[in-house]
Structure 1
Amino acid sequence: MPFGLIVFGDELLSGKRQDAHAPKLIELLAERGEELAWARYVRDDRAAQAAALRQALASGEGVMACGGIGATPDDHTRQAAALAAGRPLQAHPEAQALIWQRAREMAAERGLPPPSPQNPDMQRRLEMGVLPAGARLIPNPYNRIAGFSLGRVHFLPGFPVMAHPMMAWVLEQEYGLWPRPAEVRERSLVVQGAYEAQLTPLMEGIEAEFPGIKVFSLPSVDHPSWGRCIELGVKAGSGDGQRQAAFAALRQRLHDFGAFICTEMVR
């Protein structure tokens, strides 16, 4: 299944903060033999978020949506999710019970009495437990304020310390994807003395000869070690045996072409 990522937040688009979710999701997927198919950043705007979420819900893909599930004026994700899914927002008893549990724990840690249901701060906290109808909870090991799922779209907090273990939980519990021993996913080499346009027929020939293999090309004009160069490699296929055979053919054809091979890499 393809996996995607949506991150909500004006602070990412303005440059105030750097996204930490895409690198972590890439890492978690790689540990499970998967790859991130796409990522998208959306501003704090309810209509824009709902439009992005409609596409995600309709895609049938596994999508992590991070940020904006709080209860401040710039948090729109719960409302946008309800709009996108065509469902009403309603109090989720389990989610609100977890919020109450966390509030009592925090009061006890400070030596204070349990919060009153009429407390305005408590009412605002409980808003985080008002979710689209039919939402499934995602446990939050950091502070118990749950995320939620609608179909295959999974809504997580913006805070990496909370969102990242919740991502792992979703991959394991929703999709049965557990970390597994590292395996070779691609083989590549760095070449000098050629341009991509010159090597394109060679790359197309490898893909034609080895069905399922993808040949990739990453050119650099100022690589710190090799200057102007191209990293060429093979990935996908039905196993590393096929990748090794395709890689050997790629290396031989580059040698026949006259390109200089700087180094070889396995990932």
Structure 2
Amino acid sequence: MAEQQRIRLIIIGDEILSGRRQDKHFASLVEMLGQRGMKLHGAEIISDDADHIEATLRRSFASPDIVFCCGGIGATPDDQTRQAAARALGVPLQLHPEAAALINERSQEMAAAGKGSADPNHPENQQRLQMGVFPEGAEIVPNSFNKIPGFYIQNHTFMPGFPVMAWPMMKWTLDTRYQALQHLQPTMEYSFLAFSLPESRITPALESVEQQWPGIKVFSLPSVGEEGGRPHIELGVKGEAQAAAAALQFLRLEVERLGGELSAS
């Protein structure tokens, strides 16, 4: 049986791990996927360390997963993602001709605005070209913000860490490369709040749901009653719409049978 293709997110940056910046990609990608009937399977945040990136990508490339990778594709010493990706794949780095053309075009636009030189041999422009050096075999990912592209290779899309650049790249990738995977299995998620009921008492009913309705996933999110609220459990189901509705009704009846109180979420 072929291994299932899942969607994952890798966020690269010491600034996230140190707390100097807060990640915004996770929530944004979850929202984009939800709008397209897709879901995120997993996410991880890793450091700028070149060996760490390489090891992570080597493992990731070994899977069939669709992966969005944010950060570390600039041209400063702490940007090591392009190099690590090439090593993980065992291929050389090379200047991508389409990327070079777009970067030169961006340099000319900046020069026209009085910011720098239009000469492609100018040291700043030569340095900027390093952002178009990708692993051999990569394809460009358009950057609608400033034309300096990301790259795509082996179901991995590599983007800058800046949300204003990365998020349009994510949308473009989903709608260009993976449109056929959108809305394949219409799913619904329902939940409600249960009061005066310990989680241990409702657990057998949650297990029963997944046995009676294969493919339906249950969740239980207890709250101790923060900010003066009543302690409760948010109980829910997600999966194919008709089965999820039936499972939800079963759970509500079980909560009442077991002495709990219901409230719509």
- TM-score bracket for the superposition, by shorter chain length: over 0.9
Kindly, what percent of the aligned residue pairs are identical?
46
Distance 1:178 1:142, change over 3 A: farther
User: Of residues 203, 206, 209 in structure 1, which corresponds to 2:212?
Assistant: 209
**Cross-structure match for 1:119:** 122
In structure 2, the partner of 1:135 is: 138
Counterpart of 1:244 in structure 2 is 245
Helix, strand or coil at the partner of 2:85? helix
Shift of 1:225: 6.9
Cα distance, 1:118 vs structure 2: 2.7
Q: Which residue of the other structure, out of 45, 52, 66, is the alignment partner of 1:62?
A: 66
Report the Cα offset of residue 44 of structure 1: 0.7
1:77 & 1:212 partners in 2: Cα distance? 37
- Amino acid paired to 2:255: L
1:249: Cα distance to partner? 0.9
- Deviant stretches of 4+, over 3 Å: 177-180, 223-226
- Range that drifts further, 4-13 or 240-249: 240-249
Query: 1:199: how far off?
Result: 1.1
Residues 38, 182 of structure 2: 8 Å contact kept: no
Give the number of equivalent residue pairs: 259
Once the two structures are TM-superposed, the CA of residue 91 in structure 1 deviates from its matched residue by: 1.1
In structure 1, runs of 5+ residues without a counterpart are none
Q: Alpha carbons of 1:225 and 1:25: their partners in 2 closer, same or farther (altered >3 Å)? A: farther
Distance in 2, Cα, partners of 1:143 & 1:161: 10
Contact preservation (8 Å) 1:234, 1:246: yes
CA contact (8 A) 1:156 1:163 kept: yes
1:262 maps to 263
Quote the Cα distance in structure 2 between the aligned partners of 1:119 and 1:146. Answer: 20
SS state at 1:39 partner: strand
How far apart, CA to CA, are the structure 2 residues paired with 1:2 and 1:228? 35
TM-score, normalized by length of structure 2?
Answer: 0.93
Provide the C-alpha distance between the structure 2 equivalents of 1:111 and 1:35, rounded to a whole number of angstroms.
42
* Alpha carbons of structure 1 residues 111 and 119: separation in structure 2 relative to 1, 3 Å: closer
Partner of 2:88: 84
Match of 1:156 among 159, 162, 165: 159
- Within 5 Å, which residues of 2 pair with 1:1-267? 1-110=5-114, 115-176=118-179, 185-224=188-227, 226-236=229-239, 239-264=240-265
Q: Deviations over 1:219-239 (max 9, x none)?
A: 111244743111011111xx3
**Stretch moving more, 61-70 or 220-229:** 220-229
Structure 2 gaps, min length 5:
none
TM-score, scaled to structure 1: 0.92
Over 3 Å counting, the alpha-carbon distance change for 1:240 and 1:80 in structure 2 is same
